A and B are shown apart, each in its own frame.
Chain A
């Protein structure tokens, strides 16, 4: 995830907290939040992941005028060679999420304006009974605030599978 400008906004925090089923007023009610240790509205622990909204090139967002691999009139909007072209169980979806780690130097609050810079990390492979060959790749994202201070360090690991994960087993 890379974002030159990720403004942290109260309405976004509210929607994000709702989506994870978290009704803690510290994410939505300024008056109630002031009385907590946080001292005001903060963002939930995994909110930084929504920097995807501010990554202009984010792969998993439809973009105006460009092909999209989800269904429309056809089951997919992107024709691929039979056999899948090696993208594996994501069906062209860029693989699956294997791990996510956050280190909080402080918690985000409305009014923060972040930058996110991502560096690739290690890659490794493993055989799996449930999905064939797995190719893992790591990335480390640093979120810095308007003062340039590091606020969150995030490490993600993605995995491409040889075939769809044997589900519901």
Chain B
């Protein structure tokens, strides 16, 4: 189900829940799949006693990956052309995340309509954890 440029309006927003009560096990799953075994994400002993954080925390890329699901569910498979984020706050076990794509503009690149979105993912306290943009091919 592709989006259609004709039906999109600047300011249109799509929101999805990414995760409820993030589990440490999901962070472990991400470490294993991605190959990023930084103990800050999975090793409570190291992270609290050596690194000085209150607990392990999610890979930024896990949040970016979960946010990517919100985007691809919205714009369709294989439609993204650009996707970038800043990691603005850490994501902790127990967090619940919601993510929103808001249409900024629709541009034309060589006859292809491209929708440009602002992307923001927030935790249960409304704190922005990921802030960025995405661009996707849309139908006319």
A20 lies within 8 A of chain B by Cβ: yes
Chain B minimum-CB-distance residue to A98? B87
Contacts of B35 in A (CB 8 A): 50-54, 58, 60-61
Among A20, A51, A53, the residue within 8 A (CB) of B68 is A20
Q: Is the CB–CB distance between A76 and B46 below 8 Å?
A: yes
Q: How far is the CB of B77 from chain A (nearest CB, A)?
A: 4
Contacts of B3 in A (CB 8 A): none
Q: Is the CB–CB distance between B71 and A45 below 8 Å?
A: yes
Q: Is the CB–CB distance between A91 and B46 below 8 Å?
A: yes
B73 lies within 8 A of chain A by Cβ: yes
Q: Contact mask B22-56 → A, CB, 8 Å, 1/0?
A: 00001001101111111110010111011111100
Contacts of B33 in A (CB 8 A): 12, 15-16, 18-19, 50
Q: How far is the CB of B85 from chain A (nearest CB, A)?
A: 6
How many pairs, one residue from A and one from B, have CB atoms within 8 Å of each other in the complex? 172
Among A45, A90, A104, A165, the residue within 8 A (CB) of B90 is A165
Q: Is the CB–CB distance between B78 and A107 below 8 Å?
A: yes
Give chain B interface residues in 66-100, CB to chain A under 8 Å.
Answer: 66, 68-69, 71-73, 76-87, 90, 92
Among B2, B18, B54, B92, the residue within 8 A (CB) of A21 is B18
B62 lies within 8 A of chain A by Cβ: yes
Chain A minimum-CB-distance residue to B54? A167
Q: How far is the CB of A77 from chain B (nearest CB, A)?
A: 9
A93 lies within 8 A of chain B by Cβ: yes
Chain B minimum-CB-distance residue to A23? B69
Q: Contact mask A1-31 → B, CB, 8 Å, 1/0?
A: 0000000000010011011111010100000
Give chain A interface residues in 87-117, CB to chain B under 8 Å.
Answer: 89-94, 96-104, 107
Among B52, B65, B79, the residue within 8 A (CB) of A44 is B65
B64 lies within 8 A of chain A by Cβ: yes
B5 lies within 8 A of chain A by Cβ: no
A123 lies within 8 A of chain B by Cβ: no
Q: Is the CB–CB distance between B34 and A16 below 8 Å?
A: yes
Contacts of B85 in A (CB 8 A): 99-101
A46 lies within 8 A of chain B by Cβ: yes
Tell me whether A104 and B80 are in contact in the complex, defined as CB-CB below 8 angstroms, given that A89-B51, A98-B87, A167-B54 are known contacts.
yes
Tell me whether A46 and B50 are in contact in the complex, defined as CB-CB below 8 angstroms, given that A99-B84, A100-B85, A104-B82 are known contacts.
no
Footprint of A on B, CB under 8 Å? 2, 18-19, 26, 29-30, 32-40, 43, 45-47, 49-54, 57, 59-62, 64-66, 68-69, 71-73, 76-87, 90, 92
